[in-house]
Amino acid sequence: MSNHTETLWQLVTELFATQEVEQIRLLTKTKPLDLIFLTTFDDSLGGPSVSHMNCGQEGRYEIPDRDIFRPLQYCGMYFKAMVSKDNIDDPLWLTRDIVEMSSLHIEGLIKNIGGLARLPLGMALHKAIVKQRVDAETWKHIDTFTHIYNDAKHNFSHEKDTHMFSVEDAALAYFVCRKLGTKLYPLARLATDIRIFDDNCEKAEKSRMPNWIANPPR
C-alpha cells in the first residue's frame, strides 16, 4: 500500500455506490490488470470512457476542450501499455502518468468553470467563483485529491528505484477523476456535447448520416 492508497479508497467509498465500490475492489485485486474488466466498468459510468473517447485515432471532443479531454486519451493509452508485454516490462513506470493525466482532466474542468486558464488546480479551486459554482461536497473531494495530484507532479522523495504509486492507485485515481468529472460537466462551458460519448462510434456515425444511407432499403 502506498502513501495515497488509503485516501484514494476513502474517496472511492464516498463517491461511488456500494455495488460500484465492490466492482472496483475486485478490479484492483485482479493481477495483472484486467483491461476488459476496467473498460467495462469505465463504460458503465457513462461519458468519456476509454473505449468511447476516440473513433479510430480521432478524439470525439471539440478543439476548445482539448485541455479537458486529451488527458483521458493518454490514460487510455497508458492502461493499454500496462497490459502489453511489448510496450513496457514493469507497469509501475506508468502509474504516476495515469494519476497525473487523470488529475489534469479535473484541473481542466475547474479552470473552465472558473474562467481561470492560467492557474494550477489548487489555486483555481480556492477562488471564490469556483467555490460558488461547485457544491461543497464535490469541492471537498477535489481538494482532498489535489494533494495526490501535486505529489504526482512534483514529489520524487520516495526511496531510490521505487515508485510512488501502485497499479491499484492508478486505477483508483482514474475512477475518482472520472466520477468527479460527471459532477463537473454540467457546470463547465463545454464546446463538446457530452452526450456524444454515450454511443459507440458505429452508432454515432450512423446518426450523422441521412436516414436513407444509414438504413438503406433491403
pLDDT digits (tens, 9 = 90+) for 98-135: 999 999 999 999 999 999 998 999 999 999 999 999 99
Asked if 24 and 12 touch (Cβ cutoff 8 Å), the reply is: yes
Give a yes or no: residue 130 inside a domain: yes
Per-residue model confidence (pLDDT) at position 162: 82
Which candidate, 193, 190, 191, places its Cα nearest to that of 207?
193
Give a yes or no: residue 53 inside a domain: no
Average pLDDT, the chain: 91
Per-residue model confidence (pLDDT) at position 127: 97
Gap between the Cα atoms of 2 and 162, Å rounded: 11
What's the domain range around 128?
5-18+61-208
Give a yes or no: residue 106 inside a domain: yes
The type of residue at 101 is M
pLDDT tens-digit readout, 62-84: 999 999 999 999 999 999 999 88
Tell me how many domains the chain contains: 1
Band of the pLDDT at 211, cuts 50, 70, 90? very low
Per-residue model confidence (pLDDT) at position 75: 97
Give a yes or no: residue 184 inside a domain: yes
pLDDT at 213 over 80: no
Gap between the Cα atoms of 101 and 105, Å rounded: 7
The H or E element containing residue 55 is strand 54-55
Band of the pLDDT at 204, cuts 50, 70, 90? low
Beta carbons within 10 angstroms of residue 112's beta carbon: 22
Give a yes or no: residue 189 inside a domain: yes
Give a yes or no: residue 97 inside a domain: yes
Gap between the Cα atoms of 188 and 53, Å rounded: 18
The pTM score is 0.90
Give a yes or no: residue 120 inside a domain: yes
Give a yes or no: residue 166 inside a domain: yes
Residue burial 152-187, b: 16+ Cβ < 10 Å; e: rest: beeeeeeeeeebbbbbbbbbbbbbbbbbbbebbbeb
pLDDT tens-digit readout, 169-199: 999 999 999 999 999 999 999 999 999 999 8
Overall residue count recorded for the chain in this entry? 218
Q: What residue has cell string 470525439?
A: 60
Peptide bond into 32 cis (omega under 30): yes
